[in-house]
């Protein structure tokens, strides 16, 4: 076996992108590295898989086909390299399945999101997004939502007011006010615990 000298990190920026990759490749023991076409065929490389809400998974894989720029143009596919997973850690398949189950739970609920840092990342994590209603109409909006709303993501300084109105209306939902985009990761983890 060849010792690998290349290490790649594959980052899935949205839940939809991860699900597509799983359906098309990961479930079948492969992975597609978009944009990367300069790998030696059949030479194993270390690959880190990073997806929001999933611990970083390290695998070994070898390139088995390339979609070069010319092929990508003619076929309408994305340029990149298809890889066969050759070595995966214990629990890899279980971790992927558990992550997919959590993504499914996220799609069944919504978060109302205001103008906050990292707002789009809640959608990237797989939650349905509903624009945050003004404070005076939040009680009606919560009762009229087509899917269960599990959280309000409100601008800084508005958390107490939204929490109070939601409680008075009989809605026991979480209210968060992220100050930085990076805070979204912690909020998503907290929401996942609510869904578990």
pLDDT tens-digit series, residues 110-167: 999 999 999 999 999 999 999 999 999 999 999 888 999 999 999 999 999 999 998 8
The answer to whether residue 4 scores a pLDDT higher than 60 is: no
Which pLDDT score, from 0 to 100, does residue 1 have?
39
The percentage of the chain sitting over the pLDDT mark of 90, rounded to a whole number, equals 67
What do you get for the CA distance between the two ends of the chain, in Å?
42
Domain finish residue from 37, 72, 99: 99
Instruction: List pLDDT tens digits, range 45-59.
Output: 999 998 887 888 999
Q: Is residue 1 part of a domain?
A: no
Are residue 93 and residue 115 in the same domain, yes or no?
no
The answer to whether residue 84 scores a pLDDT higher than 60 is: yes
Alpha-carbon torsion, ordered 142, 117, 104, 129, to 10 deg: 40
CATH number for the domain that contains residue 120 = 3.40.1010
Which pLDDT score, from 0 to 100, does residue 168 have?
85
Q: Which residues of 66-101 are buried (b: 16+ CB within 10 A; e: fewer)?
A: bbeeeebeeeeeebbbbbbbeebeeebeebbeebbe
Residue 67: φ, ψ to 5°: -105, 95
DSSP the chain: -PPP--EEEEEE-SHHHHHHHHHHTGGGTEEEEET---PPTT--EEEEEEETTEEEEEEEEEEEEEE-HHHHHHH-PPPEEEEEEEE--TTHHHHHHHHHHHHHHHHTSEEEE-S-TTTHHHHHTT-EEEEPPPGGGHHHHHHH-SS-EEEEE--TT-HHHHHHHHHHTT---EEE--SSTTHHHHHHHHHHHHH-
62-67 average pLDDT score: 93
Instruction: Give residue 172's Cα distance to chain centre.
Output: 26
pLDDT confidence of 109, banded at 50, 70, 90? very high
Are residue 84 and residue 116 in the same domain, yes or no?
no
The percentage of the chain sitting over the pLDDT mark of 70, rounded to a whole number, equals 97
Are residue 191 and residue 118 in the same domain, yes or no?
yes
Residue 158: φ, ψ to 5°: -110, 0
Are residue 90 and residue 17 in the same domain, yes or no?
yes
Are residue 94 and residue 24 in the same domain, yes or no?
yes
Are residue 141 and residue 74 in the same domain, yes or no?
no
99-110 average pLDDT score: 94
The answer to whether residue 2 scores a pLDDT higher than 60 is: no
Q: Is residue 81 part of a domain?
A: yes
21-37 average pLDDT score: 89
Contact 58, 89 (CB under 8 A): yes
Which pLDDT score, from 0 to 100, does residue 6 have?
62
185-195 average pLDDT score: 93
């Amino acid at each position: 076996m060849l010792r690998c000298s290349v290490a790649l990190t594959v980052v899935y920026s949205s839940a939809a992108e991860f699900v597509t990759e799983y359906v098309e490749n990961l479930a079948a023991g492969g992975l597609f590295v978009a944009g990367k076409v300069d790998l030696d065929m059949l030479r194993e490389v270390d690959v880190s898989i990073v997806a929001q809400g999933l611990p970083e998974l390290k695998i070994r894989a070898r390139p088995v086909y390339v979609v070069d720029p010319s092929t990508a143009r003619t076929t309408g596919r994305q340029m990149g390299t298809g890889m066969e997973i050759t070595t995966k850690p214990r629990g890899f398949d279980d971790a992927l399945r558990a992550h997919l189950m959590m993504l499914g739970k996220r799609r069944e609920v919504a978060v109302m999101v205001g103008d906050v840092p990292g707002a789009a990342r809640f959608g990237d994590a797989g939650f349905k997004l509903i624009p945050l209603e003004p404070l005076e109409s939040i009680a009606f909006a919560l009762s009229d939502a087509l899917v269960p709303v599990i959280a309000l993501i409100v601008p800084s300084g508005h958390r107490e007011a939204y929490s109070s109105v939601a409680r008075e209306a009989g809605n026991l939902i979480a209210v968060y006010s992220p100050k930085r985009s990076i805070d979204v990761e912690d909020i998503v983890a907290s929401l996942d615990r609510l869904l578990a």
